[in-house]
Chain A
Amino acid sequence: MATTVSKPETLVGKRIRRQEDPRLITGTAVYVDDLKLPGMHHAAFVRSPHAAARIRSINTRAALALPGVAAVFTGADVAHLGPVPTGASLPDLRVPHHHLLAQDRVYFCGHPVAAVVATDRYIAADAADLVEVDYEPLPAVADPEKAIAPGAPAVHPQWPDNVAFTFHQEGGDTAQAFRDAEVIVKQRITSQRLIPMAMETRGVVAEWRAGEKSITLHTSTQIPHLVRSLVAGILGMPENHLRVITPEVGGGFGSKLNVYAEEALMAWIASRINHPVKWIESRRENFLVTIHGRGHADYFELAARRDGTILGMKLKLIQDLGAYHQLLTPAIPTLSVLMMPGLYHFANITADIIGAFTNCFPTDAYRGAGRPEATHGIERMVDILAAELHMDPADIRFKNFVPNDRFPYATATGLQYDSGNYRAPLIAALGLVDYPNLRAEQQRAREEGRLMGIGLSTYGEICAMGPSAAMPAGGWESATVKIEPSGKVTVLTGASPHGQGEETTFAQIVADELGVKMDDVMVIHGDTDIVQYGIGTFGSRGTAIGGTALYYALQDLKAKIKKFGAMLLDTDDVTFSGGSCTDERTGKSVSVAEMAGAAYRAVKLPPNTEPGLVATRFWEPPNFTFPFGAHIVVTEVDRDTGTIAIRRYVCVDDIGNIINPLIVDGQIHGGVAQGLGQALWEHAVYDDTGQLITGEFTDYAIPRAPMMPWIESSHTVTPSPVNPLGVKGVGEAGTIGCSPAVVNSVVDALAPLGVRHIDMPLTPEKIWKLIQQKGRA
């Protein structure tokens, strides 16, 4: 196993409160919408009410006549810019040209048709209402399976079959596995469209400096450097004339791992009107035009022996892409394919993806991004197989887990699982719920006619994304550590966080390595003029990759500090610990502050040593990391109302070494909340004409505090050998582990009625209807 930095008397591993929180809970944090610049104008968008239509004409006269309106821009004004980029590359991928504003056609509800700029937000909104657009509505298609059926309306006329790409992956010999099978189970499993719903909507403030021909773009994003490169590309301007600043970000969940038309438009508009311009996305726009997640219809087949041994798997995956490719849209379902085998030891898989265009907003990365869909599929299929074979769902999992002596483990999908002890979290979780007694209790409940269910999910995860070869825009991360002349420490991280608490966890790592106080550490992120290039925070990579870059930069600095220590102590041999260098022979020591002072005054320098104490590292990970865990959910279904009560939620997650258990708890809780959202309540529904009919919170049910169960969270620890911190990643684990455990539990509750599978979300209406229908049968 890997070496780790964990040692006694360290801050790493302690439940330390987040440094970020005081400003967040006292209203002193600065978000994009808090920015007020002199002469700042405000933008509002005219958006299509049709999912598909030709634009016959646009009349902006009345809007321009409104006092306070500075400009109205339409598709013709920005036809030379763009396109909105996609970073995903797949063979023969069809990429529609995604203009910043609609040209002669609109392709989804909410498609921006014009941007109105005025001296205040209200005038801009009023003027947007005065823009007259004459549309000729066209037939639309909103369902991916209907879209690829013959005769469906073409989303893009040049591709009448609505197929953006197909993708085939083969591992082992699936045909042989299915010939050898004694039992084959099949199931269509959907993973419905979801809306990520960050608390802070998107927002942009752009500032043009005519003298320097430069633009400063303040935007709520997870990837400031990539936004800089890509927006500069869209506008055709030199990258180093564009500065992207990411102030506080109120949640992203993948929805801000993107480059949006509005970001480029605001930058361009600021330069056109020669005033700063602000656009803050309304909540209604957030529902409609910030990326959605999931959107799968998956056809699974699992081949096995009668003793429960899994032999192979087939998957046909239909991905609802929406009308365009946003940054990673087509890549997301390929992650599902990678994760198909889950934690199970079988060598044969065949997967086919069909990426379908629909007249909907694009799907893209949402917490888990492809892995929740795959995990939901495999974990449901394992339960369906267990039911078919009358096996206990725990036993079938134990039987198929990759054994401990097989790591690093090469999967049928081409991954190499770094480390694992898959039995451990399941054993722990079964112990926590007292599984044999729980099953006995369930038996008694059933005899009383109650619908009690026990659901297991033993999930795997791909974290720390990722090796650059597997990523569209580099997978490394950067860190600069500066010990200032006073001995205070400044960290610049390229892994721009948006709620992950890196200002705390990174300070913990620095404090342990340099022996300084956490309060003496300042972590700076999210400003491309200050921070060296970085990739960003997504794919549970912040600590595993960004933290590792930081760790190595700290090692470089420690080596340099020791040279100054040796010089000041006039010896060849010093030890560095607890924030000072010590000459063991004399017992004399010098502090980091004293050594830093010497390094910057530079009156005298150690041999072959430059002044200053700054180190930068760009760390390229050799592999992903692969966390895992077991979630057990106990439910009881009310026969009369279809309501599901979660009686217990137990999760044992193995995420490698833990830097800050308090932050990890938060990540697990938030992740489980979003998993429960998908399992029980959330569904982004488009009607047949492409209208999003769940466009507000009364129709789109996200979990609220009273809807949450008590989460009993604990961990097993299997360090990752991929990085020196031994960490794996935790940002998405809760979401990935959750939904199959919930659905497996409810299906288990309804199993006596003959229920075998239910698609999410498990709304009371759906469950009630099922009980009525099965009760009658």
Chain B
Amino acid sequence: MKIAGAYTLPVPRERAWATLQDPVVLARCMPGCDALELIGPGEYHMKMKLTLASLSGLFDGKVRIADQEPLDRFRLTVEGSGKIGFMRGEGLLTLAGSGASTEVAFDGDVQVGGTIAAIGQRLLDTTSRMLIKRFFEKLISIERNDG
């Protein structure tokens, strides 16, 4: 499933870039994320609780940041599996803007499998959008409170 959109962070590019690469902040913002620990260059181990329709379950997986072009763009991969199946999301995040705010656009693909696909496919689109929305809203609120 293709997914794309954009959010505006109320901080300059340098700050936005740094925040999006910070595992502590990412862990706080990713809905259901219990832990995010660095296991290699740009690679983190993740534990995440995901709820989709009548299903909920723990996912164990990885978050990878790659193809970094500082201040401009990077590729984010989130993949995990658990007893309700697996999920894999990959997308390109592009930062734009000069001044006090930064627009973060994303364009990617989400794939799920197993029970989660059999049961939750209908809600995947809206759930993915909702999770992304919650991620950015949390990020924005952290930035506001810190700033």
Contact = CB atoms under 8 A, between A and B. Distances in A.
A695 B118 contact: yes
Q: For this complex, into which size category does the number of interface residues on chain B fall?
A: 10 to 19
A573 interface: no
Given A695-B119, A696-B119, A698-B122, A689 B111 contact: yes
A48 B118 CA distance: 13
Contacts of B128: none
Nearest to B116: A49
A520 interface: no
Given A49-B81, A49-B86, A129-B83, A109 B114 contact: yes
Given A49-B81, A49-B85, A687 B121 contact: yes
B122 A687 contact: no
Contacts of A109: 113-114, 117-118
A693 B118 contact: yes
Contacts of B86: 49-50
Interface in A211-256: none
Contact of B113 (A50, A694, A699): A50
B117 A695 contact: yes
Contacts of B117: 49, 109, 687, 691-693, 695
Contacts of A48: 114
B112 interface: yes
B127 to A, nearest CB: 14
Given A49-B113, A109-B113, A689-B113, A287 B83 contact: no
A288 B118 contact: yes
A284 B122 contact: no
Nearest to B114: A49
A698 B52 CA distance: 14
Contacts of B122: 693, 698-699
Given A49-B113, A109-B113, A692 B83 contact: no
Contacts of B81: 49
B83 A691 contact: no
Interface in B80-110: 81, 83, 85-86
B115 interface: yes
Interface string B68-86: 0000000000000101011
Interface in A667-706: 687, 689, 691-696, 698-699
Contacts of A698: 122
A644 B21 CA distance: 54
B112 A691 contact: yes
Contacts, number: 51
B136 to A, nearest CB: 27
Please indicate which of the listed interface residues B86, B112, B121 has the most CB atoms of chain A within 10 Å of its own CB: B121
Interface residues of A, number: 20
Interface in A331-375: none
Contact of B118 (A50, A129, A284, A689): A284
A667 B85 CA distance: 39
B53 to A, nearest CB: 8
Contacts of B112: 691
A697 B111 CA distance: 22
Contacts of A47: 114
Contacts of A692: 117-118
Contacts of B83: 129
B119 A691 contact: no
Contacts of A50: 86, 113-114
Contacts of B121: 687, 691, 693, 695, 699
Given A49-B81, A49-B86, A129-B83, A696 B113 contact: no
Contact of A696 (B85, B111, B114, B118): B118
Interface in B21-51: none
Nearest to B83: A129
Contacts of A696: 118-119
A133 to B, nearest CB: 9
A691 B113 contact: yes
A693 B122 CA distance: 8
A287 B111 CA distance: 20
A692 B85 CA distance: 12
A385 B14 CA distance: 69
Please indicate which of the listed interface residues B112, B113, B117, B121 has the most CB atoms of chain A within 10 Å of its own CB: B113
A50 B114 CA distance: 7
A689 B86 CA distance: 13
Contacts of A694: 118
Contacts of B119: 284, 695-696, 699
Contacts of A284: 115, 118-119
Contacts of A693: 117-118, 121-122
Interface in A242-292: 284, 287-288
Interface string A280-310: 0000100110000000000000000000000
- 6 shortest interchain CB distances as A-B pairs: A695-B118, A49-B114, A691-B117, A693-B121, A129-B83, A49-B113
Given A49-B114, A691-B112, A699-B121, 14 more contacts: A49-B85, A49-B86, A49-B113, A50-B86, A51-B113, A109-B114, A129-B83, A284-B119, A689-B113, A693-B121, A695-B115, A695-B121, A696-B119, A699-B122
Interface of A: 47-51, 109, 129, 284, 287-288, 687, 689, 691-696, 698-699
23 contacts: A50-B86, A50-B113, A50-B114, A109-B117, A109-B118, A287-B118, A687-B117, A689-B111, A689-B113, A691-B113, A691-B121, A692-B117, A692-B118, A693-B122, A694-B118, A695-B115, A695-B117, A695-B118, A695-B119, A696-B118, A696-B119, A698-B122, A699-B119
